[in-house]
Structures are given as structure tokens and as C-alpha cells.
Amino acid sequence: MNKKRIGLRRKIIGIICILVAVMSFILICISYKAFYNTYINFYYDKALGIVKMLANEIDGDKIVQYVDTGSTDEAYDALLSRFNNVKANTSGLSYLYLMVPYEDHFVYVIDAYTDQDDMDNISAFGSVFEYRETEYTYLLPDVKAKSASTQVVYGEDVGFGRSISVWAPVFDRNGEVAAMVEGDYVLTRVEREINSYVLKIFFFIVVALVVITAIMVRVIDTGVASPIIALTKYIDSYEKGSLTLEPVTFKDNNEIKWLSDSFNNMIGRIELYITDIKTITAERERIGAELNVATKIQADMLPGIFPAFPDRKEFDIYASMNPAKEVGGDFYDFFMVDNSHLAIVMADVSGKGVPAALFMVIGKTLIKDHTKPGRNLGEVFTEVNNLLCKSNSEGMFITAFEGVLDLVTGEFCFVNAGHEIPFLCKKGKTYEPYKIKAGFVLAGLEDIQYQCGSMQLEIGDKIFQYTDGVTEAANEGNELYGMERLKNVLCKNAALPPIKLLPEIKADLDAFVGEAPQFDDITMLCLEYKAKMEC
């Protein structure tokens, strides 16, 4: 926890420092740009004023005469002296000259100089120079427009550094441009002044932001970090099971106080929840234990030891039941009615869980108790139905199928109360659904008369019965397993004995369902008639 607390402070300070650095950089950039533009405009206007002043003092016709004749006079010497004085008295002015522009070159008339200038770099009267790209781009358009400089033009001079160039036209008597006065202003000193000023602003901003940062860190640490740390210690104490600290309270009515109040209220509610959970858990454990016992009891009620009748060679039988919940509503049964008659029962109670399991016990017991030697199975279901209806306040019902096999003759009598039809496999053939008329469900309506049917089984014939949990099992795509798949797997394994057939069906069913949950009990039974009983 200490690492997290330190990390919180560091993150806050780090974020503020980053914000300060970003803000400082942005402010410095903006300040530098603003001051630089201001200074450049100032010196641009100053230089432009100088060249315009000189241009107004010059006789354009005289300049044309000087160039045409290639000779000068006293007026020229006075003009040169004027240019030299202006250059000497203007700080930062590196070049000041008068020239006559042509289409692709210009001719020097005057190139002002001072005592500090290198005379080797001074252009003589009449010197011809070709235009550079700068003159083509900026100077010639202004000459043709008969105007002074219309924008700031930057240039690089090897001796002086970065500079700006300005010019102004000299007109003859006809109003045509006779010459141009140009001045180049060195920016080295200007940029030095700008940098010095911006540096002062930078230090002022940094100091101001550092002070603000310190104040913000103090406020955040006192108003946010420290209260959160106090709340964390309080919660840690509670989490460790020894609430030794007093609840955290704050005087300021702000978000931190609301958070603290919420924590204190939450802890109070947690105490109540824990008490309730302990009670509920104990109750669930008790119910779970009882359900485990109920599951064991239900499993014990169904025949589960195989082979079921190891001393009987006339038949082979196997059954299984997989409940959807702890206890199920499906049930199967098989028992000897007498020494020569075997009864099988397959049933499905409406609903699931404990109520269905209890109703299953009643139905299973009544069916077995009323199945007697020589008694018609239709009468058995009729009587069982009436008894179930009398004790059925919850409106439950049972679909059931019961059959009795005469081990001597092979006659198989049966009765169906709304249950699935069985599959019959004749010896050497495949399973086919045995279509029989289904009567009404048990416990649905009193005084229903159920009819008994019969079929003749031969040695090697098999009967497969099941509940709807098999055919109505659904996969993750809500596709049902269905009768067709059940028939296919039965036919594929028709030669297997009952004890091997049911696991094959269950494996195919599991592969089809996949990860989808089981919603209904899955119950199956298979009976094989293997030999006739001697009289």
C-alpha cells in the first residue's frame, strides 16, 4: 500500500511538472513569435522610412543622365555624401545603395560606405550585377508597380548575417521609375535584443509556474492525497478484521467528504450483509446436505445394480438416469411381477427438483404396488391415475409407460399414459419406433380409462424406452437432438447388448449438446428378450 501512496503523490507532481513544462514551452514560443514580429515590423518600418526619405530627395532625371553618360558631377558627390552620412548614423544598416533596375540586371549608381567598411566590398559607380532570385521575386514586381517594398524580404549576408531588404522608387519627370533606393538592415542585434527580452520573460514564467506548482501540490496533497491515504488505512484495518481506527470524517463538505461518508455507510451495510450471508450460507449448506441425502435416496430407489437378475437367462436389462438438478422427476423401474413375468416402467413427472422427486416417489410406488399377476395394465393405470388425482393439489402430472413381458410366451403387454413411443429392434434388424396410441397423462383428470396393448417378442428382440430429456436435449444453437438422431445412433449400435448400448447413446448426446446446460432429466432403459422360460 505504501508504494501506491507514494506513487499517487509522484504521479500528481509529475503531471503538474509536465503541465508546467508544456505551458512554459507554449508561452515562450508565443512570446518569442510575438516579440520577434513586433521588432521586425519596427525595424522594417524604420528602414522603409529611410529609403523613402532618400528617394524623395533624388532627381530621377539626373540619375538617368549619370548612367547614360557614365560621368558624375558635384551634385552626385553631394548625394553620395548624403547616403554615407545616413548609413553612418543609422544603427544596424549594413547596405544602402542607389541603383537603376533593368529586366535582368541592375547598375550601381551609389553604394554608401562608412569608415568601418571594407572598401574592397564597395561597388563602384556603373557596376553591373545580375538579379538574384530574391530580386526577381520581390524587387521587379515593385519596380513594375512603381511602389516601395510591399512585404518583408529576408536575406542572408556572409559578412553580417540575416537581414531584411527594403526599397523605394525614384521617379523621373514623366513619373516613370528611374532608380531604386535599397537598404539592408542587419537583424543580428535585433535578434539578440529579442532573445534577451524573451529570456527574461522565460525566467519570470518559470518562477511563477514553479510557485503555482508548489501551491497546487500542497493543496492536492492536503485535500486529496492525505484524505485518500487516511481512508485507505481505515479500509485496510477493516479488511484485516481489526477495525481499530475511528471512522474518517472531514470538515469540508466536498467530494472527499462524500466519499468518506459513503465508505462509512458501506462498512455498516457490509456488516449487515455479512450477517445475512452467514445465515443464508448456513441455510444453504443445510439444504445442500438435505439435497445430497435426497439424491442418494432417489438413486437408491431406482434399480441400480447390474446385472439386475444374474440368475435369469431369459432377458437382459439395463437402465440409467441423469437428473438435471440434484434430484429429478424422471424415474424408471423394473421388477418381477411373478416368476414368469417381468415389468418395466418409464415415467416423467412434470417439473423438476424436489417437488417432482416427491411426486415421482408416489407415482413409482403406486404403479409397482398395483401391478399384480394377471391384472390388465389398463386397469392398473386407471386406478393409479385416480389415486394421484386425489393427492395432487399442485396440479402436477406424470407421463408413463409400463410393459410386462411374459417370459414363457414372449407376449409383451403395455400401457402408455402420454409418454414417448418406444423403439423396437427385431433380431438381426435395426431399431424402429413402435407407433402406439398414447393415452392421457396420469394425475391429469379422474376416471380416465386406459387401454392395454400387446406385441409379440421373439428371441433376440429388444425394446428401448426413454424420456423426452433425450430427444429434446438442445445444443448451444438451440437445435434439438430429435428422434432422427436417436434412431441413427440406435441403428448404428443395434448389435450391442443393453449395458453397452445406453453409454453409446449418452456419448453421442453429450457430443451433440456440447457446453450447453442440461435442462431436463435424461432417462433410458433397454430390455432384450434372450430366451424363453421353460414352463
Query: Are the C-beta atoms of 330 and 467 separated by less than 8 Å?
Result: yes
Instruction: Provide the pLDDT for residue 350.
Output: 86
Enclosing H/E stretch for 86:
helix 74-89
CA dihedral defined by 221, 226, 228, 230, rounded to 10 degrees? 180
Instruction: Provide the pLDDT for residue 5.
Output: 46
Distance CA 327, CA 310 (A): 29
Predicted TM-score of the model (pTM): 0.52
Distance CA 277, CA 284 (A): 10
One-character DSSP codes across 230-279? HHHHHHHHHHTT---SPPP--SS-SHHHHHHHHHHHHHHHHHHHHHHHHH
Which grid cell is 175? 513619373
Instruction: Provide the pLDDT for residue 344.
Output: 97
Q: One-letter amino acid identity for 174?
A: N
What contacts 510, CB < 8 A, 6 or more positions away? none
Rg (CA), the chain: 55
Instruction: Provide the pLDDT for residue 481.
Output: 95
Distance CA 106, CA 103 (A): 8
Instruction: Provide the pLDDT for residue 2.
Output: 47
Which grid cell is 15? 503531471
Closest CA to 530 of 470, 459, 455, 437: 459
What distance lies between CA 356 and its chain's CA centroid? 44
Instruction: Provide the pLDDT for residue 291.
Output: 63
Instruction: Provide the pLDDT for residue 157.
Output: 57
Q: What are phi and psi of 505, to 5 degrees?
A: -65, -45
Tell me which residues of the chain have a pLDDT lower than 70. 1-10, 12-13, 156-161, 221, 223-226, 234, 238-258, 260, 288-299, 326-328
Instruction: Provide the pLDDT for residue 188.
Output: 76
CA dihedral defined by 408, 411, 416, 422, rounded to 10 degrees? 100
**Cis, peptide link before residue 503, omega less than 30° from 0:** no
Instruction: Provide the pLDDT for residue 326.
Output: 59
Instruction: Provide the pLDDT for residue 4.
Output: 47
Helices (H), 391-475: 468-471
